[in-house]
């Protein structure tokens, strides 16, 4: 019996070296610098920048803005993306290719272009307003641009593929006969979904949620174009601190808080999903 080599001794592990070096130089080291900067003061290590940040009620509102928008975007993507993933996984070959092209092709369009397009769509005389007036939901044209609803709609459109594709990759591996087996045993469609399909699809959901949440919590260009300077998020505050106010410490502090929020939500949702999956 051959014994598996330790990753440190396995020469195949060297194949990962370029990627490791790349991430080390361009991600890990700047991150360490960012952390160090956020904890450093004139007299050495300090928590003062964090204390100062959280002592300001305005900053709490910025954190709340950031989290609420990210959660709404993730929820909208999940509600639209989850059924779409099943439709994609169960579609015939030709339709599946067409659907995949429709999902993947928009990724080739830049975020700035998409955000500008949404500016047109969300205007007072834009398609959404006209549609809602036409359907009788609104009495008169209204603007969705520069509203939180408009931001959620625009961001959800941009991030939707990142929800659909991970769920699809899991759902396509679920054997459809499991559902049929449940039906033959007398389980109702809802019971079959909740006890069989949902638990099996949860790894995809967790990946999709992690992708979309982490991207929407840190989005910078989209809120800048769809809601403007009057709605501050942690990423816009970070950008402003570095680029305009030249306050590296405040920028580092907000960046670390943003990172901590994103990591804790992603890790927490992963654990929750595993627990739910395990109990199902």
State the residues that interact with another protein by CB under 8 A: 58, 61, 116, 119-120, 123-125, 143, 145-146, 224-225, 227-232, 240, 244-245, 247
* Least Cβ distance, residue 214 to another protein (angstroms): 24
Question: Which pair of structure tokens corresponds to residue 237?
Answer: 């505050």
CB–CB of 166/201 below 8 Å?
no
Q: Which is nearer to another protein, 46 or 119 (CB)?
A: 119
Q: Which is nearer to another protein, 95 or 245 (CB)?
A: 245
* Least Cβ distance, residue 38 to another protein (angstroms): 19
Residue 188, classed as helix, strand or coil, is coil
Which residues neighbour 160 within 8 Å (Cβ) at sequence distance 6 or greater?
Answer: 77, 80, 81, 103
Q: Which is nearer to another protein, 158 or 164 (CB)?
A: 158
Q: Which helix (H) or strand (E) covers residue 41, if one does?
A: strand 40-41
Q: Which is nearer to another protein, 150 or 204 (CB)?
A: 150
Which residues neighbour 165 within 8 Å (Cβ) at sequence distance 6 or greater?
Answer: 103, 104, 208
Q: Which is nearer to another protein, 145 or 215 (CB)?
A: 145
Q: How far, in Å, CA of 137 to CA of 131, rounded? A: 9
* Least Cβ distance, residue 55 to another protein (angstroms): 14
Spatial CA neighbour of 66 closest among 272, 238, 205? 238
Q: How far, in Å, CA of 76 to CA of 157, rounded? A: 9
CB–CB of 216/155 below 8 Å?
yes
Q: Which is nearer to another protein, 209 or 250 (CB)?
A: 250
Q: Which is nearer to another protein, 8 or 244 (CB)?
A: 244
Question: Which pair of structure tokens corresponds to residue 239?
Answer: 């950008």
* Least Cβ distance, residue 63 to another protein (angstroms): 14
Count how many Cα atoms sit within 13 Å of the Cα of residue 133 in the half-sphere of its side chain: 13
Residue 136, classed as helix, strand or coil, is coil
Chain centre to alpha carbon of residue 169: 17
């Amino acid at each position: 019996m051959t014994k598996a080599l330790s990753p440190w001794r396995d020469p195949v592990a060297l194949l990962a070296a370029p990627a490791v070096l790349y991430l080390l130089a361009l991600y890990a080291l700047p991150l360490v610098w960012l952390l160090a900067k956020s904890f450093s003061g004139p007299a050495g290590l300090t928590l003062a920048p964090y204390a100062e940040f959280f002592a300001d009620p305005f900053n709490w509102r910025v954190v709340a803005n950031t989290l609420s928008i990210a959660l709404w975007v993730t929820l909208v993507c999940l509600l639209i993306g989850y059924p779409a993933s099943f439709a994609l996984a169960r579609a015939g070959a030709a339709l599946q290719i067409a659907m995949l092209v429709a999902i993947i092709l928009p990724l080739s369009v830049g975020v700035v272009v998409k955000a500008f397009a949404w500016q047109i769509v969300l205007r007072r005389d834009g398609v959404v307003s006209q549609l809602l007036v036409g359907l009788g939901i609104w009495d008169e044209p209204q603007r969705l641009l520069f509203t939180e609803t408009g931001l959620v709609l625009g961001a959800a459109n941009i991030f939707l593929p990142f929800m659909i594709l991970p769920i699809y990759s899991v759902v396509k591996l679920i054997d459809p006969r499991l559902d049929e087996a449940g039906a033959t045993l007398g389980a109702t469609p809802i019971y079959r979904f909740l006890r069989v399909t949902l638990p099996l699809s949860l790894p995809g959901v967790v990946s999709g949620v992690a992708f979309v949440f982490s991207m929407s919590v840190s989005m910078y260009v989209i809120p800048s174009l769809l809601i403007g300077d009057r709605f501050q998020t942690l990423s816009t505050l970070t950008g402003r601190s570095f680029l305009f106010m030249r306050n590296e410490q405040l920028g580092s502090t907000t960046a670390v808080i943003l990172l901590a929020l994103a990591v804790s939500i992603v890790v927490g949702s992963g654990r929750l999903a595993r627990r739910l999956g395990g109990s199902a």
